Amino acid sequence: MSTIKRILLVEDNPAEACLLREIFHKDGSLEVDLVCATSMAEAEKYLAAVGFDFVLLDPCLPDAHGLAAIRRARIVAPDVPMIVLISLDDEALSTESLQEGAQENLVKGQIETRGLLRALRCAAERKRLERLRDEFVSTVSHELRTPLTAIAGSLGLLMGSAAGTLPESAARLVGIAHNSSQRLVRLVNDILDIEKLDSGHAAFDFKRVEIGALINETVESIRGYADGRRVKVRIEAATAPSDVRTDADRLAQVVTNLLSNAIRFSPPDSEVVVSALKKAGSDAVVISVRDHGQGVSADFKSRIFARFAQADGTNARREGSTGLGLSIARQIVERLGGQIGFADAVGGGTIFHVELPISDGLADVAQDARSGDLPITSPIPLVSIEDTAPQPQTLRLAGVAGGAA
């Protein structure tokens, strides 16, 4: 605990902030710089520019949007342990915050010195164990991917008669093995994507992207799969801006996932419709994928973006689904500064939509900070609760007073 130097408190209630200050003052073993952000937007800027040992987060701030605040904080600072401040009657939020990546919860109004110090210790240990788990999963996945790719490629060559024509019974067995190996490769790749996104090591290359061209290329790349399932994919006339600043490959990955899901769960001879529209009254573009399937059941809607979630496990596994695609898509979209969601379509089916800002947003702040090129045009004042009359300090990525832990 002696290594704690700076804690970010994301709280707009002065009484709660003062209570935490008094708790730290009572414990003479800690010399903690408690920095307060009164909004989520301010917190994101602090996290991108300054090193913190812990985050104490109230997800009920006006601009925090509940659980989305946890995901936003983890995008900017994936390695910082997080403790969520909840109300006494927020039992659901307590459980869901841990599922979203928080390490511990504290009940507001019931925080005392021993409880807070215990929460800090537990959060630090859980974060350490998470890192070890992620490193293990990454290592195993990398070690599996190379032989699996070789196996899938060799089986594909056998299916293509590269070693001569196989007997019918042998060809059937090779086909089963080839499909299973491809499914394993997809699962390993999805796990690696999840690990990179969670650890903040997924690279994002933001540049101007022509949305219409990206959608056309993505649809063409998946048309063979659609034809094989007798599903037509149609692109509606787009009224979206010609270009958006985003990561083309990552956005194409999201659109491909939404298209493949829509095709997979659409009946034969039906249609999947893709559109890109300028959102009315805002500086954003909305990409939509509409299917004519059975729709999302009511009991599955709350879990649809969860990892390994499958509405119908038997059918999804028969189709080779891993249940990770939508979870990965959500993380990617949030890293791009956007939002992903879905709604029931009129006449049946489901519409998945991705909303992205047209202009530069805070999504690239974290990426620029990690690359050492944070685009801050004006100084951000460090508002420390320890100071009765804090003076603004100019933030720099290197040489910040107190140092990043």
pLDDT digits (tens, 9 = 90+) for 269-310: 999 999 988 887 778 889 999 998 888 888 888 778 877 666
Sign of the alpha-carbon dihedral angle for 235, 238, 242, 247: negative
Closest CA to 216 of 233, 239, 241: 233
Closest CA to 366 of 193, 202, 158: 202
User: In sequence order, which residues have a C-beta less than 8 Å from that of residue 107 and are 6 or more positions away?
Assistant: 86, 87, 88
More confident residue, 197 or 85: 85
More confident residue, 381 or 171: 171
pLDDT for position 18: 86
pLDDT for position 239: 59
Q: Which segment of 170-179, 240-249, 347-356, 386-395 scores lowest on mean pLDDT? A: 386-395
Closest CA to 290 of 276, 301, 277, 274: 274
**Is residue 372 classed as helix, strand or coil in its secondary structure?**
coil
> Is 386 a residue whose pLDDT tops 60?
no
pLDDT band at 364 (very low <50, low <70, confident <90, very high): very low
Closest CA to 97 of 63, 136, 64: 64
192/348 Cα distance (integer angstroms): 35
pLDDT for position 219: 92
Per-residue pLDDT, averaged over 231-246, amounts to 78
- DSSP code for 301: G
Q: Check: pTM over 0.75? Answer yes or no.
A: no
Closest CA to 64 of 37, 90, 92, 39: 39
pLDDT for position 327: 87
Per-residue pLDDT, averaged over 333-351, amounts to 89
C-alpha angle with apex 305: 299 to 309, nearest 5 degrees? 65
Summarize the chain as % helix, strand, coil (round to 5): 45, 15, 40
Bridge partners (DSSP) of residue 354 are: 287, 340
307/323 Cα distance (integer angstroms): 6
Contact assessment for residue 50 and residue 382, using Cβ atoms and an 8 Å cutoff: yes
Reported as a single tens digit per residue, the pLDDT across 172-196 is 898 889 888 888 888 888 888 877 7
Pairing of β 104-107 and β 54-57 = unpaired
Distance of CA 117 to the CA centre of its chain: 29
> Is 368 a residue whose pLDDT tops 80?
no
**Is residue 325 classed as helix, strand or coil in its secondary structure?**
helix
